Structure 1
Amino acid sequence: MAKTLDELLPDDLLDRIRGRAGRYDETNSFFHEDLDELATAGYLKMLVPAADGGLGWSLQQAARAQVRLAGAAPATALAVNMHLVWTGVARVLQARGDDSMSYVLEEAGRGEIFGFGVSEAGNDQVLFDSRTVAQPLADGSYSFTGAKVFTSLSPAWTRLGVFGRDDTGLEPQLVWAFIDRQAPGYSIKEDWNTLGMRASQSNTTLLEGVVARPERVFRKLPVGPNPDALVFGIFACFEILLSAVYTGIGRRAVELAVANSHRRQSHKTGRSYAQDPDIRRRVAEAAMAMDGVYPQLDGLAADVDHDADHGSLWFAKLAGLKVRATETAKHVVELAVRVSGGGGYFRGSELERLYRDVLAGLYHPSDDESAHNTVANAWLGPLED
């Protein structure tokens, strides 16, 4: 019988994960215990088909799970996202008749953990160009040389998805492949010392000629924007699952705002702050803001699952979701801080950690400027020369 969300993430597991989050943050350490428990529960296999040993969940179900997990430990959920993105992309392609990444699902079903080695410092082309050099070798393999930043799951991945630019042919092309952890030719800098999302340990990965075997090279695309299903799959899974994490932060902030309003008592009136009109208005504002995010997240994930036809608006809708989810969560956490009193300003409180964690949403693609440009182009057309 298929697991329900409450069975996959029962309250006692979430309590343990929430109980460790502060320690991971304080010590700037990876969430090893969380990952072990989530793997044992089958969480990393949620998007893997049952035939490959997984739960066979949809992207919509996975997004709901990430909302729930992020409410307990945002950094854990954010890092797990990277594995879920790759299994999600493989599912999106498979559902559209493309089996080029089916081995990702098979290996994830056997317990392999996939990392996301795509982001590069200063590369505002994101998926459409790369500063990493992809060098073709005689046997069809490729060596990769460059630096990948924000590589979440750095201590734990066993397969790392990377891409680089090959300029050896008549036209440059972008080469996508997976490297194995045991392969020589890369190193991980332990440089993750950040304001928030500390347990994700998203260290810089230096590719120093590491070789991806021929069978691990799964895409070659022209440089620049293109309609390939891989690009859509990465963008869709990344934006939806990322939005789920920040939606979970926002939902938890509302819960804390409610609890703290009831807990705090006014010396002036002798009543809880839950009876104060100004506090009530801020809590209501936070709840209403979040109520607009839940259906957008749920609906867009379902649209990917069912291959809905949004035509040229697909990327605008996905970028818009990311901006709404991250900006709303940031606003809602601030509202929760405002109603919770000065104790939330001290290190070690859950709300203080959420306040720092939620700021990471500003840095994920698509950023606010890029997203608004994408949406404007979709509705108004490109700028004239």
Structure 2
Amino acid sequence: MTRDAETSVLTDELLQRIRSRAAGYDRDNAFFAEDLDELREAGYLRPRSLLATIRDQRRLGAHAPATALAINMHLVWTGVARILAARGDRSLDWVLAEAEAGELFAFAISEPGNDLVLWDSATRAEPVVGSVTSAGEGGWAFTGTKVFTSLAPAWTRLGVFGRAEEAPGGDWPDGGTGPRLVHGFLTRDTPGWRHLDDWDTLGMRATQSRTTVLEGAVVPPERVSRILPVGPNPDPFVFAVFASFLLSIGSVYAGIADRALELGVEAVQRRTSRRTGLALSQDPDLRWRLADAALALDALRPDLETLAADVDGLVDHGAQWFRRLTGAKHRATETARVVVDHALRVAGGSGYAAGGELARLQRDVLAGIYHPSDPESVRQTVAANLLGPLEP
């Protein structure tokens, strides 16, 4: 069972409590444990439509960006499972059931120096002796290093993937040859993994996105979600990951921009010019700067929400999908950076205080440049859509 698509559990009171803790988490480099408890108790971790999810993630991002970003990783997996189910693929229905039951899902996908992201992996996936059938199905042991594992202190289910060089038993289930990428989920009580206590970053500190070291951690057969060829792949699982991740990430950063603009407006209404004696809200240059920020920000809602509604509604954009999805994430994160910069400029020197909210938003918004797809990858995707692939 899933919650009604339009139901939100984010009350104003809950959001204000979450905002009140954000500065402390950031200052202490602490995990957002109290926020997580309250959000779980409120039912926020349960699966809903992608449109409802990104709307609420934008609201949460405006109140506590790091909390929203970390929770996003769980919501991406429930989004993937919903997207597949809506298209007749029930292979991840167990993710929806376990999320409803209170399990917390996280990502262990990113790897040091791996700019291919989902298209290849430096992590080894090796079949577990004695548990693999002649069809190539079975348990897999993962060995490698994953970075940016948000929710590190609390996840109970961890999505991982790695590269298998050869098919167990000689043949892959699809009849093809060559290496494959094995996707699956670890449970927290599985031996063979550990986190490093290495999360000390400029921003998004409450996510505690620590490095995960896999040392032969085994994913059992029933939790292997996909075995796919190396390289770009049109499999619905890949589409679902991109759609859920990129639109949810973009919405968190749009929320940061919402709050920054709000703080910028408050600042010029509060401050007075010694030169003119007028409120700075009457200064033509500052009015232009805030208007410019608002114009850019206004474009994000229809961009993100239209695409999310199209995913929910099974709209087929064909080869345009990846261009639109990567573009939406890119526009959201880059626009958010511009809006925060405008807000800092109109707020004056007080915005530069390390403990201030605008300064924290400036540090948090910078994380957007590190999430896939990066600007180079986005432009490659769009160019390929327009002009075809690069010639070998």
Using structure 1 for the length normalisation, give the TM-score: 0.95
Match of 2:226 in 1: 219
Counterparts of 1:18-57 in structure 2, within 5 Å, are 18-45=19-46, 47=47, 57=48
Aligned in 2, Cα 1:155/1:278: closer, same or farther, shift over 3 Å? Answer: same
Counterparts of 1:107-256 in structure 2, within 5 Å, are 107-137=98-128, 138-139=130-131, 140-169=138-167, 170-256=177-263
Q: For residues 40 and 370 of structure 1, what CA distance do their matches in structure 2 show? A: 38
Determine if contact 2:105/2:158 at 8 Å carries over to the other structure.
yes
Of the three residues 365, 373, 379, the one matched with 2:386 is: 379
Q: For residues 189 and 18 of structure 1, what CA distance do their matches in structure 2 show? A: 28
Q: For residues 14 and 335 of structure 2, what CA distance do their matches in structure 1 show? A: 27
Match of 1:98 in 2: 89
CA RMSD, Structure 1 to Structure 2 (Å): 1.3
Deviation track 1:21-60 (CA, whole Å, cap 9, x = no partner) reads 0000000010000000000110010x2xxxxxxxxx3101
Q: For residues 3 and 379 of structure 2, what CA distance do their matches in structure 1 show? A: 40
> How big is the shift at 1:380?
1.4
> How big is the shift at 1:3?
6.9
Q: For residues 327 and 218 of structure 1, what CA distance do their matches in structure 2 show? A: 33
> How big is the shift at 1:83?
0.2
Match of 2:134 in 1: none
Counterpart residue type for residue 146 of structure 2: K
> How big is the shift at 1:7?
5.1
Deviation track 1:139-186 (CA, whole Å, cap 9, x = no partner) reads 121110000100000001000000001112242111111001011100
Q: For residues 283 and 201 of structure 1, what CA distance do their matches in structure 2 show? A: 33
Partner of 2:227, secondary structure, is: strand
Q: For residues 146 and 126 of structure 1, what CA distance do their matches in structure 2 show? A: 14
Does residue 316 of structure 1 match 2:317? Answer: no
> How big is the shift at 1:381?
1.1
Give every structure 1 segment of 4 or more consecutive aligned residues whose post-TM-superposition deviation is greater than 4 Å: 1-7
Partner of 1:384, secondary structure, is: coil
Determine if contact 1:236/1:304 at 8 Å carries over to the other structure.
yes
Deviation track 1:204-236 (CA, whole Å, cap 9, x = no partner) reads 000000111111112111111111000000011
Counterpart residue type for residue 223 of structure 1: V
Determine if contact 2:125/2:162 at 8 Å carries over to the other structure.
yes
Deviation track 1:298-332 (CA, whole Å, cap 9, x = no partner) reads 10111111111111111011110111000000000
Aligned length in residues: 375
Unaligned stretches of 5+ in structure 2?
132-137, 168-176
Q: For residues 68 and 378 of structure 1, what CA distance do their matches in structure 2 show? A: 33
Q: For residues 3 and 194 of structure 2, what CA distance do their matches in structure 1 show? A: 40
Point out the more displaced range, 265-274 or 11-20: 265-274
Partner of 1:205, secondary structure, is: strand
Determine if contact 2:273/2:280 at 8 Å carries over to the other structure.
yes
Q: For residues 5 and 282 of structure 2, what CA distance do their matches in structure 1 show? A: 37
Determine if contact 1:149/1:205 at 8 Å carries over to the other structure.
yes
Aligned in 2, Cα 1:215/1:4: closer, same or farther, shift over 3 Å? Answer: closer
Q: For residues 155 and 268 of structure 2, what CA distance do their matches in structure 1 show? A: 41
Aligned in 2, Cα 1:75/1:5: closer, same or farther, shift over 3 Å? Answer: farther
Does residue 335 of structure 1 match 2:342? Answer: yes
Q: For residues 344 and 38 of structure 1, what CA distance do their matches in structure 2 show? A: 30
Q: For residues 112 and 71 of structure 2, what CA distance do their matches in structure 1 show? A: 22
Aligned in 2, Cα 1:241/1:272: closer, same or farther, shift over 3 Å? Answer: same
Determine if contact 1:186/1:209 at 8 Å carries over to the other structure.
yes
Aligned in 2, Cα 1:134/1:7: closer, same or farther, shift over 3 Å? Answer: closer
Counterpart residue type for residue 194 of structure 2: S
> How big is the shift at 1:5?
6.8
Q: For residues 223 and 362 of structure 1, what CA distance do their matches in structure 2 show? A: 25
Q: For residues 18 and 112 of structure 1, what CA distance do their matches in structure 2 show? A: 24
Unaligned stretches of 5+ in structure 1?
48-56
Using structure 2 for the length normalisation, give the TM-score: 0.94
> How big is the shift at 1:368?
0.4
> How big is the shift at 1:383?
2.1
Counterpart residue type for residue 53 of structure 2: A
Point out the more displaced range, 303-312 or 31-40: 303-312
> How big is the shift at 1:384?
2.6
Does residue 8 of structure 1 match 2:9? Answer: yes
Q: For residues 272 and 348 of structure 1, what CA distance do their matches in structure 2 show? A: 25
Determine if contact 2:5/2:49 at 8 Å carries over to the other structure.
no
Aligned in 2, Cα 1:157/1:19: closer, same or farther, shift over 3 Å? Answer: same
Q: For residues 272 and 9 of structure 1, what CA distance do their matches in structure 2 show? A: 35
Counterpart residue type for residue 365 of structure 1: P
Q: For residues 179 and 279 of structure 1, what CA distance do their matches in structure 2 show? A: 51
Of the three residues 49, 65, 79, the one matched with 1:74 is: 65
Counterpart residue type for residue 37 of structure 1: E
Point out the more displaced range, 6-15 or 89-98: 6-15
Q: For residues 227 and 375 of structure 2, what CA distance do their matches in structure 1 show? A: 29
Counterpart residue type for residue 165 of structure 1: R
Counterpart residue type for residue 158 of structure 2: L
> How big is the shift at 1:267?
1.5
